[in-house]
Structure 1
Amino acid sequence: MIRVLLADDEAMIRAGVGAILANEPSIEVVAEAADGREAVEQTRRHRPDVALLDIRMPGMDGLQAAAEIRRAVPATAVIMLTTFSEDEYIARALDEGASGFVLKTGDPRELIAGVQAVADGGAYLSPKVARRVITQFSGGSTGGHVIRGAAARDQIGLLTDRERDVLRLVGSGLSNSEIAVNLNLVEGTVKAHVSAILARLGLRNRVQAALLAYQAGLAD
């Protein structure tokens, strides 16, 4: 069972998102919060697998709450839930260690897929967000992509062959369990490889690792 904290300052949104999650037998909403500070407190108390945070909340917003949750309860994965898809929010959310970004206006199946993916150690970006992120991080032009691609390829040269295999599959959006099956490894070994990749390359989370794999040409 995937245990989820849901934080949004609008009661109607909490009710709607909660109803979507309640229809998935593998997911349980264990706590709700109406602002970022309460979200952090509830996360400390309930230790959910996933914290689903609205970006814009009064007082401490979702981005600040994400940073605090990642410090206080690092085992809890964070997904940002928002109607805003501006680049500044995406970049800040990724910088704060968010493992997923789901638009409120998206397909409800994206919400379920996102929660399941990050709970399994993966990362998830709604398709609209993914396109914006790839455009932003690839330089938005062919020339920018070539420059970033060369630097990315140099960077992944620090990895072992097995770590490159793992990074390629991270970039393809696979979870730890899926990578384990693909490479005939135990899941614990995959987690160790992912941790080593992040540490060796100076990356903060799997989303940044996936972007690097894309920039280096390891994944589409």
Structure 2
Amino acid sequence: MIRLILADDHPVFARGLRAVFEAEEDCAVAEVAGSGRGAVEAALRHAPDVAVLDIAMPDGDGLWAAAQMRSAGLSTRILMLTMADDDESVFAALRNGASGYTLKGSHPDDIVAAVRAVARGEAVFGAGVAGRMLRHFSRSVTVAPFPQLTEREHEVLRLLAGGADNTAIGRRLGVSSKTVRNHVSNVITKLQVSDRTAAVMRARDAGLG
């Protein structure tokens, strides 16, 4: 049996949500709160398996409530159920310990499934939220060119592309000219080019230098 508390400051929505869960044989709603502080107090009273929290609530929002539950050492897992689908709300929920994040427009069956998954220890994000996360990380993560190179070889190539000779590269990196020559040789081999000029051209084509 999954013991739940619900927190939402819209009574009609909260009653409907409670009815959804009480219709499920494996769910039991211990309490419904109408504020963030009320959610924390309910969690401390009942130590539920899952707390389903709205974000926008009076007297301590859902993010504050989630953080308070974590600080109190509760093992309660948190599912945010909210209208807010902006990036900042999603990542703030994660920072404050939420295990799942789904939107109020989701089908009731999807919300119940999300609670069950969170109770099993899984991380759950509704389809729209997951899409936002993918777009966020695809914008944020930059893949460096020439992943076959070591970090030092990549730096040598960048300096070559910027017009530095071996002596200048050695001074910049604090290594001998012989070491620089070895790095350049490795770069040429790994890039499968004929000489350093060709390596420089490849590097500049990739935006280095």
- Please confirm whether the aligned pair reaches a TM-score higher than 0.5, indicating the same fold: yes
Distance 2:57 2:26 in 1: 28
Is 1:47 the counterpart of 2:47? The answer is: yes
Q: Residue 72 of structure 1 corresponds to which residue in structure 2?
A: 72
SS in 2 for 1:139: helix
- 8 Å CA contact 2:4, 2:27 repeated in 1: yes
Unaligned runs of 5+ in 1: 151-220
Q: Could you list the runs of 5+ residues in structure 2 that have no partner in the other structure?
A: 148-209
- Find the counterpart in structure 2 of residue 172 from structure 1: none
Larger radius of gyration: 2
Task: Classify the secondary structure of the residue corresponding to 1:146.
Answer: coil
Match of 1:146 in 2: 143
1:94 Cα offset (Å): 0.7
Aligned to 2:189: none
Note the C-alpha offset of 1:113.
Answer: 0.9
Let me know the Cα RMSD of the aligned residues. Answer: 1.4
Offset from partner CA, 1:62-92 (integer Å, 9 cap, x none):
0100111112143100011101111111010
Quote the offset at 1:102 in angstroms. 1.4
Q: Which has the higher contact order (CA 8 A, sep 6+)?
A: 1
Q: Secondary structure at the match of 2:139?
A: coil
- Once the two structures are superposed, the pairs formed by residues 151-162 of structure 1 within 5 Å of their partners are none
Within-5 A mapping of 1:1-220: 1-139=1-139, 144=141, 146=143
TM-score by length of 1: 0.63
Write out per-residue CA displacement over residues 119-177 of structure 1, whole angstroms, 9 at most, x where no aligned residue. 1111111111111112112326xxx3535xx8xxxxxxxxxxxxxxxxxxxxxxxxxxx
Identity %: 44
Distance 2:136 2:142 in 1: 10
Q: 1:17 to 1:145 in 2, by over 3 A?
A: farther
SS of 1:81's equivalent in the other structure is strand
